[in-house]
Every structure is written in structure tokens, then in C-alpha cells.
Amino acid sequence: MGLTRDAVRVRVPATSANLGPGFDTLGLALGLHDELAAQVRVDGLEVEVEGQGAGDVPRDGRHLVVRAMQATFERLGERPAGLWLRCRNVVPHARGLGSSSAAIVGGVVLARALVDDGAARLDDAAALDLAATLEGHPDNVAPALLGGLTVAGHGADGFWATRAPLDDRVAAVAFVPPTGVSTEAARGLLPVQVPHADAAANAARAALLVVALGGATEHLLRATDDLLHQGYREPAMPESLALVRGLRADGVAAVVSGAGPTVLALTDGTDGTATGLLDRCPDGWTAVRLDVDHDGAVVLSGP
């Protein structure tokens, strides 16, 4: 019991949630990472931020990583007198690539590593439940914590998640626009009710998507079709939906990444598709080819 005085460093991946039809359920960890470091101090709070969000995020107890760390310390019954935190952010903010989940999962894993026997006292299932409670839904925090392709949900016993089989050939191209859309704004466009036929169609496609990503990649285009959320969000991101439609018309399994506005194109990489897709990037946007991250949040050695 107690706190370690050594600095701890954590790497946590970007994520893409929904993947088309798997609304609030499916998530994929991507090879783009934030690195966070923290150390318990005798008093005070010092927060350093480099990279994405450096000019915008607070440097006090309102910082999302700090809030996640404090919630974890509280869950473990610890109260550090002071804290130093350094964030080196690479994951774009407000772009649908899981920046808030990376912050939350990073904070939970950092705090857990700063507590003696923290991993034994807060296993991954409990860490996931805490992170999803802080985020409000599990689809991004699950792959950020566990890596790979995850299926997640919520029930009477809390949040849960499991990894699903993933074909090694699967890769992605992310088309990132220059301006973001908040998750709250994107969710605010969703209707309270949807047609039963649309829900049934999405359930079939989400099930097929798990099969497609597990090896039957010839079904990726059909499996990534969505009727539940992307179209409703078009007023907030018309350029994203136009890009999705254009890519899909050419046989590319393109979706809105999470709440958007980033567009994610999934490919099995067997025909050079991923490399060729980079040329489809709209003016002013950034396109990057990303492998899948299979490790999730990892505690690294050294500060």
C-alpha cells in the first residue's frame, strides 16, 4: 500500500470508434500515440503540455488527465500531496480520434502505476469501468486501454469490453480536417428514436464488420455501411460526409471516425490501396496511413 516516488511514463493510442455501424460499441486502436509522464511530489500541481492542445487545455486540476488521475487515486484510497504531469500530445483534439479517451485512459493507467500494487488492486476490467464512467461511453476507452479491435457495452453490472480477432492485414488511412467538431455537438444532432428497420440493418452490418475485420476483408465495404448516426451528423460536417460518399462510391470502406469530423478508410492493404488513398486528401486536410495498435496503453520505463 502507498505511492511510489519514481516517475512513471505511459504511451496511449489514438482510437476510432463506431467504425460505421458499431455505434458506441466498436472501437479500433491506431498507431498514433500520446505520451504522458507523472510523478508524486510533496505538494502542489505542475502540468506541462506539448503538442496538440498546448495552447488550449488548462494547466490546473481541470486538466482531463489530472481529473482521471484523481478519480483513480480516490478509487484506490490514495491521496498524493502533490503531482507533476507532462503531456506530449500527438492525437488531434476534437477530430474523432479519441483524444479525450487517450487522456482519460492515460490518467487512469498513470495513477494506477504510481500506486504500489495498483495493477493488482485495479485490474483492467475495473480500469475500463472507471475510464468509461468518466468518458460516458466505452467505445473509445476500450481500445485505448486494451489495444486492437474491441467490442464494448454497458449493463447493470457496469461497463465491459473484450478484444475481437483482427486480421493482420487491416490498416487505415485517416483524413483529418483542419477544424474540429465537439463530441457534444455531434451527439446533439442525433434523434431520440430511429426506425426499427434502420436499427436492424445496423445490427447486421456491425456483426458482419466483426467478421470482416477478423479476416473476411472482402466484406468491409458492405459491413461499414451505417444508418444510425453519420447521416444525422452531416449538418456539422458536410465535407466529411461528402468525402465518405465519394470514397464509398469507389469501393473504399470509408466511415466517419467517432463523432467526426475525421474520415477513416479501412483497407486490407493487399493491393496498395492505403498508399493510393493518400492522394484523395481534400485541400487543407491531412492524410496519414495508420497501422493498428495492438498494445493499448503501455507503461514505459524511465521518465
Q: Is 97 annotated as a binding residue?
A: yes
Backbone angles phi, psi at 196, to 5 degrees: -60, -40
Reference 218, options 275, 294, 273, 277; nearest CA is 273
Q: Is 58 annotated as a binding residue?
A: no
Which one, of 285, 277, 278, 283, lies nearest residue 261 by Cα?
A: 285
Q: Is 251 annotated as a binding residue?
A: no
The region that residue 288 occupies, defined by phi over 0 for left and psi between -120 and 50 for alpha, beta otherwise, is beta
Q: Tell me the CA distances in angstroms from 74 to 3, 47, 71, one per residue in order.
A: 13, 20, 5
Q: Is 92 annotated as a binding residue?
A: yes
- Would the annotation count 233 as a binding residue? no
For residues 111 and 118, the answer to whether their CB atoms sit within 8 Å is: yes
The annotation status of 164 as a binding-site residue, yes or no, is no
144 labelled ligand-binding:
no
Q: State yes or no: 301 annotated in a binding site.
A: no
Nearest-angstrom CA–CA distance, 23 and 152: 10
Tell me: is residue 131 an annotated ligand-binding position.
no
Give every CB contact of residue 181 below 8 A, 6+ residues apart in sequence: 94, 96, 236, 237, 259, 260, 261
Q: Residues comprising the binding site? A: 92-102
Q: Residues comprising the binding site for ATP? A: 92-102
